[in-house]
Amino acid sequence: MANIKDVAQGLMILSKYVDIKDHCQVAAEHDVIYAGPSKDEVSKEDLEALDKMGWKPDEEFDCFYHFT
């Protein structure tokens, strides 16, 4: 099970990088949450923080994911 603080804090970091006009900023499947921008748009410091919280870049969907 995912730590709720890691999920929430990760979403807060990722929210800094998306335009509210974007049509899809968060999606969920059976056991994974997808969110945010491409890893290329995120600062090195935020990438390190996201990694520590279990958020990983997803190459297929060009965003980040976290297993629940």
| Boundaries of every domain in the chain | 4-67
Nearest CA to 49 among 27, 1, 17, 21? 17
Q: What is the model's pLDDT at position 23?
A: 61
Mean predicted confidence (pLDDT) in 23-42 = 90
pTM, whole model, 2 decimals?
0.88
Task: Give CA–CA dist 33/23, Å, rounded.
Answer: 16
pLDDT, averaged across the chain: 92
Judge contact between 26 and 19, C-beta under 8 A: no
